Structure 1
Amino acid sequence: MTNAKSSNIIYGIFIVFTMLVIGIILAFKGTKERESSSVDYDNSLSVGGYAVKINNCIYFTDTNEIVFTFKYKAMVGSPTNSIPEIYSITYSLKDELNSKLTYKTQDNSDEEQLVTCTDFDKDLYYIKVNFISKEPDYYDQDTYDDFGDVVKGAFHEGKKYDSYVQIDVQDMLKMTKNEYKTYTTQAPVTATEESSAADKVIDPSGTFVITTTTTPMTTESSEPATTTSTASKNSHESTSQKKTNVAVKSNQDHDEQQIDEPYVYTTEPRRYEDNDHYT
């Protein structure tokens, strides 16, 4: 009897523990982020003779607006199809069909637009951007009938490139407009800028000092000359270290002068000619 009660207690504990584990797993799955529904976001798409890309999508949480860039670029010299352009933007909620939202475009450059979307529900799952490009319409060549009358060529509508890009709300940057201003005005300092700043030496007066070393034409007694030039508004100074020159003065000044090289006295007898006279 005791063994049966013990078995029932152990079985009950096992059931309770199993249910707790299952509950934790289900709760974890419920809080796990859903799979992204983005399609071709931040990818380069081929649209006839153009490449198209949509990126930099930002959700302004304080104004409930979504902005992104729409870019296109000609991939051939003169594309035959028209410039790609947006004709519709929709948004979708969970388990609901797409609904149209209001948007406006602003040209950033010749090949880039800033698109702003408004009037959508805050619980949206994704937005869908539809754009199109079109080849020109054309006619077949005219012909003539048996009586010589012109038969107009058949009309053909140009090919359409109808594409879309889908952006999941999870893949959008979320921030306020004030945060966006800070985000766009903080320019990173590149390694080149840092090295350029380190190479500039500024003297106390605020002028730039640039030191260069030049080597003149090689001779037996020439040495490299180091020139320091200081650029300022009112002055330009140049100093050079040159080769040593030995100057010989008269005998009266010889004792007072310091000469780096030994002085060599030359004693050569003077020759007198017959027509020389003593004075």
Structure 2
Amino acid sequence: MVESPINMSNGIYRRRNLFNKVMLTVSLGTLIFGLFWLFWIILTLLFKGAPALSLTLFTDITPPPGETGGLVNAIVGSVLMAVVGTIIGTPIGVLAGTYLAEYGQRGWLAPATRFLNDVLLSAPSIIIGLFIYAVYVAQVGHYSGWAGALALSILVIPVVVRTTDTMLLLVPNSLREATAALGCPKWRMITLVCYRAAKSGIITGILLAIARISGETAPLLFTALSNQFMSWDMNAPMSNLPVVIYQYAASPFQDWNDLAWAGATLITLLVLGINIMARSLFRKS
């Protein structure tokens, strides 16, 4: 009769069982370590930022030192630039991802594009800000909301490209073959079959891109800068939450520090909400 290998008297099984328990313990420890800092950051933001959350925050503009005010101009500027950046970057990212998944099976262009997209995805955002400053801001001679939106759109593109490429590759080839057998052109097959099958994943990528650009400070310092007053003019310096938080957190005035904590709390809650929405969509896809 052959002895079962799953036996504590088996030396190999004992060693593997011990190694498995050690690795599980280490994994659990790193999980707890990471969650500890995450919850500490969130609780600190809520503890310091929640008392400053009020109706005034959403109705008044950023105040001078010693006076009460809000962040409505910064919120409006952030929303405008994020929306314009998303509108510019999303179609480019979706079309580039579609080419990689549907037309880039052969040749060197698709692998090279994926490599460059990965480089752009991991590039520091301050590099993007300096690039837009050199090619746009320095040429027109002033900071503007358009420049900030362009910088944010470049940050959107690689996230959407990667997500679109990945989700379209997950669409079963049997769907493509069935559509081709019916005599459907490839462009119609992509728009009516592949996009519909990968819709949830693509939307998830767009939401994650929006979450990424919501808190970017470095690109906006070199492009949109800031504006103490309410402004809807995208061709002029525009206030935005990340830069206001950066400026107010470094100031010696307590009222500005409180507004910085409130702004940081708003961005954190926004990013958490977008990520939860993205995960929910991805789970349903």
Q: What TM bracket, shorter-length normalisation? A: under 0.3
Q: Which has the higher strand share?
A: 1
Q: Which has the higher helix share?
A: 2
Higher-Rg structure is 1
Q: What TM-score, normalized to structure 2?
A: 0.23
Higher RCO structure (Cα 8 Å, ≥6 apart): 2
Q: What TM-score, normalized to structure 1?
A: 0.23
